Structures are given as C-alpha cells and as structure tokens.
Amino acid sequence: MNKRMLLAAVAVLALPLPSLAQTAPDVAKLRDAALQDDTAAWDIVEGLTTEVGQRLAATDAEARARAWAVKKLTALGFQNVHIETYKMPLWVRGAETAEVVGPSAQKLTIAALGNSGTTGPAGVDAEVAYFPTLADLQAAPAGSLKGKIAFVSHAMTATQDGSQYGYYGGVRRSAPNLAASKGAVAILIRSIGTDYHRNPHTGVTNWADGVKPIAAAALSLPDAEQLERLLKRGPVRLKLLVTPQFKGQAESGNVIADVPGSDPSAGIVLIGGHLDSWDLGTGAIDDGAGVAITTAAAMRVRAAGQPRRTIRVVWFGAEEPGGFGGEAYAKAHANERHVLAMESDFGADRVWKFETSLPDAAKPIADRLAAALAPLGISRGRGAAHGGTDVGPVIQTGVGGVDLSQSGLRYFDYHHTPDDTLDKIDPAQLRQNVAAWATMLAIVANAPEDIGPVPAHQGE
C-alpha cells in the first residue's frame, strides 16, 4: 500500500459514519450471547411438536397450531399478532400397503405422496414396469403402461448444500403425472431421501389439467432396492392399496407477528418459516425449527433496542402442499413496502454460508454481514440469495434477501418421514442458527442504507 492509499484509508476510518466499526461491538455481543445461551428457540420447537404434533395443511391439527402460535407469540411480547386465513384444497392420507405377490411374497413399506389418487378400497394387483430414472419413464411410448404399476428409481446422495433435491425431486413432482398419462394404474417411486431406514419419504406431487390422479406412493430406500433386486430375477406383481381422499376446499392460514421499527418509511424485513408439516412425523426439522430460529432471533434483536425497520415474523401455513401461505401473504400485503425477505426451512443444522441479493446502494451491508458472521464459521457465497417457497412470491416483486444456508448432510435422512421428530435437533447447532439469524437481523434491520428494489439482473 503506497502512502496516498494509506492516508485515504485512514481518512475513511475517521469519518463519523454508521459503519461496521460502530455497530460491530453491539452485534458481536448479541451474536455471542445467542451462541452461548438460547432457550427461546428450543422452547418454541419443543412446545409446537409436543403440544400440537403433526400439522397437515388445512386440517384441524393445523388450525390448533395457529391458535397455539398466536398464544405463544403474544406471550413472547410480539405486537400485531393475528391470523390471516385463506381457502385451499384439502388432501388427507388413507390406508397404504404394498406387497409382492407370488413365489417371493413379502410386504413393502410405502407412504402415499401428497395429492395421490386412490386405488379404491379393493386395491390394484398388477405387474411392475421398472424405470431406473425419470428420463427412462419419459422415453416410454404412449400407452405402454396400460394396466401396470410404474416404479421409478434414482440415486440421490447427501450433499452439504442439498442441491440434489432439486434434480431428483423431479421424480416425485412429475413422474406420477407422466405415468398416469401413459396408462399406469399406479406408481411407486424410490423415496427422495438419503437414509437407509424403512421410513418412506412423502411430499407433494402435481397433476396436469385433464390427467386423473392415480395412486402414487414412495418406497423406503431399502424397500426400493429390494424391489430392484426382485425385478432382476424376473417379472414382479404387486398388490397395492392406497386410499387417500380429496376433501374439497378447507381453511389454512398464516400467523403474523411484528417487532415494530422506529422508522416506518424504512420498510419491513420479512422473516419466518412454515407452520404446517407432513403428517408422518411431528415436523421438528421441517419446519418447526425454522419458525423457532427466526422468532428467537427477532426476540434477541428486539431485546437489544428498537430496530430501525419493522421485523415481521410470519409462520406460514400450507407450504408443503404447494406454497399456499406464501402466495396468500404476498397478495394480502402487496401494498406494504418490504425491503428484504428471508426464511429458514432446511432443518436446524449449522449455517455454513450466506448469500445476498441487494441493490447497489445497499451492497455495503453484505460486507458488514461477512465480517460479523465469520466468527460463526459462516463464509460468503458467490451466488445470489433466492429465498424459498414462502417468501418467494414477495421476492419476485423485486424485494431483496439474505440466504443463510444450513448444512444438508443429514437433512434428507429425515425429511418428510416419520423420523422428523424433536430428537433430531442438535441444541448446539440450533443455537448457532439463532446466533446467525440474530446477527444478520441486527445488521439489516438497522442498516442506514436505503434498501430499494433489486433489479432482475442484479444480485450479490
């Protein structure tokens, strides 16, 4: 560094700006306190999963969860706590059994996919048509699956960023519709997961207009591989019984809670997770942890003093069957000025990376985040923040965000299974999440910069 550069750097450091030098001590204190001792997040996820349990969207259980949430958030000191309801289609699980018939007769472990059709009470008995990948099913001729049960496999593996879920999740999302369009009477898929326990992974599937839903279920990984071995020995027939029901329109809702800011013109920082869960487990990592982490972080920022911007915590309803809560929120609050939107919906294991999407004028915020999050072992990523299903509709209007990426190495062992229970949450890693979120919120909610819309081409 030459003399001129050195003098310029000293001059910049001497300026009386609301810079990192001024905010870092308070942020560091807040961060370190959360890392060492946080009971709020654990109390929230423990209470939700114990006192309510599973929370299938648009059912009485989800309604009980909303009532529980209002009582809890009010007791925790949030303001403007209320429920905003909306209507959506209701799907409920029925009986689900599968068994190989013939010389190798044996039972297989399955779980119906959300929005699955039914076999009817008598079930179906049919030959299996095997497809190693979704691409193989796509290549099957029209009508070639008439009267058969399709079976689609794949080879998803665990990764830190969970990126394989995007690709292999296509098997769950689109294979049932594709098999139905080619004449199949039912379909089984290898669970979209990475564990080797007899815990099948559920999750939503989608049907195109004009395609009648067929019975669609996921096999646990051990059962999927067992079926593959049987198919190598010759044709396999299955007896399948899957009897879910579509119950018409029912009520779901979002629970809203605010930490009011001192400057209403500075906008709203939207955070949260989803309140609903699938019905196999108790929704601890998906997404009781997410609502707990974001809520506890907001409480820590509030305790440090009134933030400049309003922090709005939303416990979104009906994320699992298709993001109904996020869409309803964006529509209901379209006239409010949101400046950032973020969610936690990837379990409770440690945050390892952050990425931002900010307008040019607010880019210094990202530098302050990098310095404040580094002591937590969180590095700055090279991509742009994209949010998730719940805040996605708000982000699509041009609102920026911050992604705090959690480790996905364990997540898909438990995701959408009966094993999604409280014991899968590591308290120490939960605290690290709260510390990361509290640090981030303290910086963005108090940032002196104006945080305007993010152009479509722009991102950190």
Q: What percent of the chain has pLDDT over 70?
A: 94
Domain match, 339 and 373 both: yes
Asked if residue 279 lies in contact with residue 56, where contact means CB atoms within 8 angstroms, the answer is yes
Boundary of a domain, candidates 227, 243, 259: 243
Out of 5-14, 92-101, 443-452, least confident range: 5-14
Q: Chain-wide mean pLDDT for the chain?
A: 94
Beta pairing class for 268-274 and 310-316: parallel
* 184: CB partners within 8 A, 6+ apart: 129, 145, 146, 148, 149, 150, 214
The model's pLDDT over 102-113, given as tens digits with 9 standing for 90+, comes to 999 999 999 999
7 pLDDT above the threshold of 90: no
Domain match, 127 and 186 both: yes
| 84: annotated active-site residue | no
Residue 335: closest CA among 274, 267, 253, 262 = 267
pLDDT at 37: 80
pLDDT at 455: 83
In a domain, residue 132? The reply is yes
Residue 402 token pair: 């911050």
The model's pLDDT over 348-389, given as tens digits with 9 standing for 90+, comes to 999 999 999 999 999 999 999 999 999 999 999 999 999 999
- The residue range of the domain holding 410 is 20-89+249-446
How far apart (Å, rounded) are the C-alpha atoms in residues 79 and 93? Answer: 37
Domain match, 292 and 404 both: yes
H-run or E-run covering 70: helix 60-75
Look at the chain and report how many structural domains it folds into: 2
pLDDT at 429: 98
Which CATH number covers residue 382? 3.40.630.10
Domain match, 111 and 227 both: yes
Domain match, 221 and 330 both: no
pLDDT at 14: 37
Which CATH number covers residue 108? 3.50.30.30
pLDDT category of residue 38 using cuts at 50, 70 and 90: confident
The model's pLDDT over 223-282, given as tens digits with 9 standing for 90+, comes to 999 999 999 999 999 999 999 999 999 999 999 999 999 999 999 999 999 999 999 999
Domain match, 262 and 233 both: no
Boundary of a domain, candidates 243, 262, 282: 243
Catalytic residue among 62, 96, 319, 355: 319
Asked if residue 364 lies in contact with residue 372, where contact means CB atoms within 8 angstroms, the answer is no
Boundary of a domain, candidates 189, 213, 243: 243
